[in-house]
Chain A
Amino acid sequence: MTEAGDQPGPGALEGVRVVELCDELGMFAGKLLADMGAEVVKVEPPEGDRTRTYPPFVDDEPGPERSLFFWHYNTSKAGVTLDLGAAADRERLRTLIDRADILLQSGEAGAELEYESLRETNEGLIMVTLSPFGRGMPREDEASTDLTILAGGGPVWNCGYDDHSLPPVRGGGNQGYHTASHYAVMSALVALLYRDETGQGQHIDVNAHAAANVTTEAGTYTWLVAQETVQRQTGRHAGVNPSMPSQVLCSDGRYVNTGIPPRRPESFGAVCEWLRTTGLAEEFLEFPLLEEGMRRERFDMSMLQQDEELMAIFGAGREAMNFLASRLTSYEFFTGGQERGFQIGIIYSPEEVLEDPHFIARGFPVEVEHPELERTVTYPGAPYQFEASPWRIRRRAPLLGEDNERVFAELAGDGG
């Protein structure tokens, strides 16, 4: 495993100053910037951010320094507490913003801040506001959560099961918030590059409901282009027309995605070889059809309906993949198939990813020190590998008010 502290070099955003006044909608944006080297100062109320009360907790014991939710979303940030009901602290916030390159805002704290007034004392400021429906939009007063953003915004309609008496499904992990945060970061960076050229800052309005709407692939463009409606299917793309199942339970009780079945002579050859190598060829009664597929000069999928033998061969290829999956462990099927050129996948649970040799070899699990607990904790690592200006968790999430002294002294030093 890679030690987070060992990687040399400044992050790509070294020197970029960010003030974060965000609830759970936008706090991931702050993490994405902070892990790339931006100096993100997270502003919390004196009693602590609300997400410090979110589970899961260390050893299941609640406490402001024990929320793993808070830990994950606030790595590499500095933390200060301000009582925004008090004039002196509002002044401190203003000074912080005056010195900042980027202000990230979502939720109630700082909702009253107006860009026009902030730019009077910080012309280059880039202010990014994240909200569920966008500012000034018809539905802006509606209450929302990650669930309702994804359900009203399109993703949920696409996800679920072939059995439509079961409800459609929201994907786990607050991905509606993540998508809004991704757009916040992309946009802040565009504005930063523009400011590098012109010196000019600006305000950016990020709309989470709209972000979900444009993150639904065919569900959207099938309607936009052809006015047709896709229907959800178990574990695969929603479609106008049903497709064949693609998930199989392996011998170890885990599922795999069997991908696209063989449809080239060489992939039939690979399936034959795979069945022989695993000693399963004898048991697979349609083996001769696979050999026939191997001998065909080419495979014209557009002839499938007209060519009965081709149809039988194609069906046998699909069955062979399902058969192999059911008889092998998920990991054997995944690596055995991929090594033979099949685009197939093991369906890992999140924690299983950390134990996969590829993720370990690339240094994905990273160790982060929590000195006050005398613990080192394994975190998910870099989403991208920068050669010259690396991603790095610079410090665990801030303790409540941990950086007050340093940050306030710096503000005072600036005459703030």
Chain B
Amino acid sequence: MPQALSHLRICDFTGQLAGAGATRFLAAFGAQVIRIEDPVNQGRWDILRGMPPYVDDRRGVEFGGPFNNHNVEKLGVTLNLRTERGKELLRELVKVSDVVAENFSAGVMERWGFGYEELQAIREDIIYVSNCGFGHRGPYRDFKTWGPIVQAVSGLTFSSGLPDQPPAGWGYSYMDHTGAYYMAIAILMALRHRNRKGEGQWVDLGCTEAGASLTGPAILDYTVNGRPLRRQGSPNSNRNQFPAMAPHGIYPSREEDTWVAISCREERDWRAFGEVTGEAWTQEGRFSDLRGRLVAEDALDELVAGWTRARGNFEAAALLQGAGIPATAVQRPQERIDQDPNTAAWGLWPTVKHRDMGDVRVDGLPVHFSETDWRMERGGPCLGEHNEEVFGGLLGLTSEEIASLTEEGVL
């Protein structure tokens, strides 16, 4: 199968997930992503290089599970930008790249002499996409973030929680994933614009803005109706606001810390719920329409929980699904990864080959293309693994030159 983006080359300074996730997506469709790392600090621009989980007892910069996951199908080179020769080689690389992508703090690339203006001087139609928490302009330009901070400031942490409790937030860096999605979108849109108009540009992506754009209806409820999400009893994000549904929630099931999610979208689902459960209380007049169920939602949730608590979560979900009601077990990692027929049938967990770690399963993509589907076979690059291929094959250096540059600490 042909690869959709094999005509593109990305000069890649991204790291962690918020940046690396973007170029990962492009690499899976065949873009040549050349990830540049620092030989002096052994690639620790990206803290995930040495972070758990690990496949076995080995530790160090070649054994971080997250780094491998986020950098599949990329090439890895080392380049010391403190040296003049290192800077020269970067200029040569930029000359033959379509995109420069990075998610350092604001100002880092400029300090190295590779801000947008300098990049543009090297290649006029270069596309430069920077990604950081608050963007490169504005009062908080120098503020530092990581996923949980982005989520806090953008309104997403607050939006996740139960009444009379502190914010639950997101139990992972949702905005690292999603910031990476916006970064990939930005790169692709800028490439499309270049195809049409012949010009490159700088895209300044601030993850907190991307995050804040994901709470639209709540924002409009405030700007139009003056109703803030911060009010008594709000939020309760297991319930549904837009549109209202009841029952709608996450209910306990028989075993400890097992849960089932149930949504009754409309009257048909509610009637079916009554038939499947056979519970007398489902026929009570106070629950006969949505308005009544919303008024008595606390009592309704208690009764629903009484029914779910008597069953296993997969059993309850199957009973309700049999009647066409949206319901599912809250799946644990093992359940959705190893036991869910849908993720297996999709091929969602491909195995890649990492030079030192060996075979490792990684996140696949939730899309399939009829003509140019994605491919994940090669694991994340080891430090400088592709120096020969890139500096030799692409930039034309001889093996001897590469060896002596390595010796001199340039590579």
Contact = CB atoms under 8 A, between A and B. Distances in A.
B7 A197 contact: yes
A169 B241 CA distance: 15
Contacts of A72: 216-217, 219-220
Interface string A1-43: 0000000000011111000000000000000100010000000
B346 A210 contact: yes
Contacts of B248: 145, 147
Interface in B1-48: 2, 4-5, 7-8, 17, 25-26, 29
What secondary structure prevails in chain A residues at the interface with B? Answer: mixed
Contact of A187 (B2, B54, B367): B367
A180 B182 CA distance: 13
Contacts of B229: 349-351
Given A145-B326, A209-B342, A224-B362, A219 B333 contact: yes
Chain B: interface size category: 35 or more
A381 B209 CA distance: 8
B221 interface: yes
Contacts of B188: 186, 189-190, 192-193
A216 B332 CA distance: 11
7 contacts: A156-B330, A206-B367, A209-B342, A219-B171, A358-B138, A379-B220, A383-B182
| Max chain B C-beta neighbours (<10 A), residue from A152, A157, A179 | A152
B213 A381 contact: yes
Given A151-B331, A168-B330, 4 more contacts: A158-B171, A170-B238, A238-B171, A343-B144
B157 interface: yes
A77 interface: no
Given A167-B238, A186-B181, A207-B367, A56 B217 contact: yes
Given A183-B366, A380-B219, A232 B171 contact: yes
A415 interface: no
A28 B64 CA distance: 35
B152 A156 contact: no
A255 B193 CA distance: 42
Contact of B170 (A56, A58, A159, A226): A159
Contacts of B371: 194, 200, 202
A361 B250 CA distance: 40
Interface in B306-328: 321, 324-328
A14 to B, nearest CB: 7
Interface in A132-153: 133-134, 137-139, 142-148, 151-153
Given A255-B167, A354-B223, A377-B220, A171 B160 contact: yes
Chain A: interface size category: 35 or more
A91 interface: no
Contacts of A151: 250, 259, 261, 328-331
Contacts of A138: 341-342, 345
A207 B346 contact: yes
B190 A12 contact: yes
A347 B157 contact: yes
